[in-house]
Structure 1
């Protein structure tokens, strides 16, 4: 199943997005509803809260008085963390139960107001953020919830700001217009990204490669890499000895094919062929069939074997190279990246070469550049630079 994290600030219209996704066929897990469920009357969650904070946090009917509890924990960091230690594990466990009950081909949307604040972004295949201008949010909170301006501003200030949300967002839905416009944006997302992503994920199918085109340098490529790397790290844990952004999109200012190259260092290729491959596929990075290797430098050193994974997300192509830590291929990828970052002349020469090769054979992609003699010469230049500067991977 495809796991989607949905978040947005108070008054952004996140609930409207969630409702529309349910209409399209999504399974919704509402974190606020789950949080209320795990501390309902008669639960051990409520009993533990009373034991920690006394029955002063109960109302006359024996239910949790959220305002009273909030008054206790809002300005007391220790008390807040004590409350989170009670509620968060229960919310996670109940969320896992609800997710496990969904069909294998489900698109499960987790509506989590504090997704950014509690660091949950890497646990989802995709994160959708609903973003709305603060004046519009204040107006909606006053109109729809009868909330005073001071209280609304306090609530907004207590949450992550737009910049922090955008940093974890694979998709940003702007909701400053009409409900119809918002629904149209959700429908496009559902049809063209979520549905095919789920199908690719379930079939363990890599998004097909498109003919190579060089895109202008995109300042967001490092941020996109960071989101991918966080998911990979979450999936692999300590089996990923190191994760790096490599290739052209890792060189600032360099025009490149709009594909993020990621290198994962492992202890051995036997590890890469075991459960690690399944975990990557489950995280949205299926194995690319076939045998894969790098062309060595110099060219007479045989083949540098590796494993290659791609992306199941139709909107974010990825080449994920799994190489043994400290192997020649692993070192070469980092050396070339760092030398091109440091040497503007070689960066310009590389770009001219890529443009010529792509114009001549767009279907060849990186394989067309890797076999070019320029790379043998660049390898020698990079090694000289490494010796002069004391570079290490």
Structure 2
């Protein structure tokens, strides 16, 4: 199923977005609500808190007196750690149960106030951040919730910063406009991205463009790559030895197709095959028909005849809003080494970058008006000869 992480600063209007997504059909899992449920009267959570912090954290009716608990639990790091050691596993267990119970074709939205603070973004297929500037949030808290301004500022300062949230955001939902605007934005997101993403994820279908478009450099490409890499590390675990941003979008200032290229380095192709299901579940289904890089003459194979040296596994992102190609290659293989070498050479050599830009533009011109396999073939027919000729140049640069 598609797992969406939803968060935003206090006063940003996260509940408004959650409600809009729920109305569209998403299954909403509210972490705040779960946190209250697991310490309700009669639960093991409340009993554990009383044992740890004393019976005076209970109200007269036997429920948890939250201010009394806060006075004890937030006084020092050890007490806070004790509180978290009790509540976090219970919240995690309850959340896992709720997710397991929903249909497999669901879009699950986990409403988590501390998603960024607790490092949970890589566990999600997509992260939505409700984005509103701090001063607007403070004004809303004071005017609409009756929060004292000094208290609002103190509570906001204890949360992640806007910059930290934006760093993990796949989607920023601007909720600073007029009432109803963010709901319209959510409906568009649902129709154009979330529903297709869920369908692609469920059916193991990569998201792909049918034409070839070369775009100006996007300074956000490296940040987008890092968000995807964080998810890939969760899926791969110790099977991967490194995960790198490669390709044109990894070279500052280089024009490129709006597709993030990533390389997962593993010990061998058996390890690559072992990742197939985990990568698919993370949102990167395999392209089983793509198993080969174009061979180049190498020291191991001067004639370039042994294509087995250039074998790989290839996955693509299922998210139509962020196209990505994931190449899984064996450590030390020519393809694995060339991907890193080409990136580093292009970063360092302005003349090589200029050559490559000219080739990319020529390839895009050849592909203009074509779609699908025809467009890709026309584009590669121009690029691949340049790659062949560039290989010894890059090797010479590396050994200079």
Alignment TM class, shorter chain as reference: over 0.9
Query: Match for residue 296 of structure 2?
Result: 297
Query: Match for residue 279 of structure 1?
Result: 278
**C-alpha distance in structure 1 between counterparts of 2:47 and 2:382, whole Å:** 65
Superposed displacement of residue 119, structure 1: 0.3
Superposed displacement of residue 40, structure 1: 1.1
Query: Match for residue 221 of structure 1?
Result: 221
**C-alpha distance in structure 2 between counterparts of 1:19 and 1:206, whole Å:** 29
Aligned residues: 386
Query: Match for residue 176 of structure 1?
Result: 176
Query: Match for residue 321 of structure 1?
Result: 327
Gapped runs of 5+ residues in structure 1? 389-393
Superposed displacement of residue 292, structure 1: 2.2
**C-alpha distance in structure 1 between counterparts of 2:130 and 2:21, whole Å:** 13
Indicate if the aligned counterparts of 2:359 and 2:383 stay in contact, CA closer than 8 A: no
**C-alpha distance in structure 2 between counterparts of 1:30 and 1:217, whole Å:** 38
Indicate if the aligned counterparts of 2:232 and 2:282 stay in contact, CA closer than 8 A: yes
Query: Match for residue 332 of structure 1?
Result: 338
User: What RMSD over aligned residues (CA atoms) do the two structures have, in Å?
Assistant: 1.4
In the alignment, is residue 308 of structure 1 matched against residue 321 of structure 2?
A: no
Indicate if the aligned counterparts of 1:361 and 1:368 stay in contact, CA closer than 8 A: no
Query: Match for residue 83 of structure 1?
Result: 83
Superposed displacement of residue 249, structure 1: 0.4
Within a 5 Å distance, the mapping from 1:243-254 to structure 2 comes to 243-254=243-254
In the alignment, is residue 368 of structure 1 matched against residue 381 of structure 2?
A: yes
**C-alpha distance in structure 1 between counterparts of 2:118 and 2:84, whole Å:** 10
Indicate if the aligned counterparts of 2:363 and 2:380 stay in contact, CA closer than 8 A: no
Superposed displacement of residue 383, structure 1: 1.3
Query: Match for residue 257 of structure 2?
Result: 257
Query: Match for residue 349 of structure 2?
Result: 343
Q: Which runs of 4+ in 1 moved over 4 A?
A: none
- TM-score, length-scaled by structure 1: 0.95
With 327-336 and 376-385 compared, the bigger mean Cα shift is at 376-385
Q: Cα deviations across residues 103-124 of structure 1 (Å, max 9, x unaligned)?
A: 1111110000000000000111
**C-alpha distance in structure 1 between counterparts of 2:97 and 2:380, whole Å:** 45
Indicate if the aligned counterparts of 1:31 and 1:112 stay in contact, CA closer than 8 A: yes
**C-alpha distance in structure 1 between counterparts of 2:348 and 2:52, whole Å:** 56
Indicate if the aligned counterparts of 1:308 and 1:319 stay in contact, CA closer than 8 A: yes
Task: Identify which of 355, 364, 369 aligns with 2:361.
Answer: 355
**C-alpha distance in structure 2 between counterparts of 1:255 and 1:74, whole Å:** 51
Q: Cα deviations across residues 347-375 of structure 1 (Å, max 9, x unaligned)?
A: 11111111112211351276335521x32
SS in 1 for 2:180: helix
SS in 2 for 1:64: coil
Gapped runs of 5+ residues in structure 2? 298-302, 369-374
Indicate if the aligned counterparts of 1:295 and 1:370 stay in contact, CA closer than 8 A: no
Query: Match for residue 187 of structure 2?
Result: 187
